[in-house]
Amino acid sequence: MTEDFLHGPVMSGEVRLPAGDGKEAFVDAEDIAEVAVAALTEDGHAGWSYELSGPRLMTFQDAVAEIARTVGRDIRYVPLTPEAYADEQCAEGVPEEWAQLSVGLYDHVRSGALASLSDGVQRALGRAPRDFS
């Protein structure tokens, strides 16, 4: 999901993450909601599962650059090591366990484990997924 989880860093002008050059297919929250509604209220979805993704793979650096262009502000992506990210999170009051969980999630991004596209939105809704832009 792309909505709001980086609001604070974006507003500060600096997004600091340990995502490296890993790519992800950012999925729009409205697509998730529409697929859920369709699956729960329309015929033809029983027994199906839908893996959802956006329509293209992007690095976090790509995503931050698009956000900066869209809002017309200077916003930088700053790649961090997992250790530096965990330290920063803890310094901001995030419990160590949560910081390490977050580092683990970004490990998946860095490793390329999330770099895949799916046709779930198309199959469930009959249309392409919304783009990050």
Q: Which residues contact 93 (CB under 8 A, 6 or more apart)?
A: none
Spell out the CATH class of 7-125.
Answer: alpha beta
| C-beta separation of 27 from 57 below 8 A | no
Look up the pTM and report it.
Answer: 0.86
Give the Å distances, CA to CA, from 25 to 7, 80, 131.
Answer: 19, 21, 9
Backbone angles phi, psi at 29, to 5 degrees: -60, -35
pLDDT tens sequence for the chain (133 residues):
446 778 889 999 999 999 999 999 999 999 999 999 999 999 999 999 999 999 999 999 999 999 999 999 999 999 999 999 999 999 999 999 999 999 999 999 999 999 999 999 999 999 999 999 8
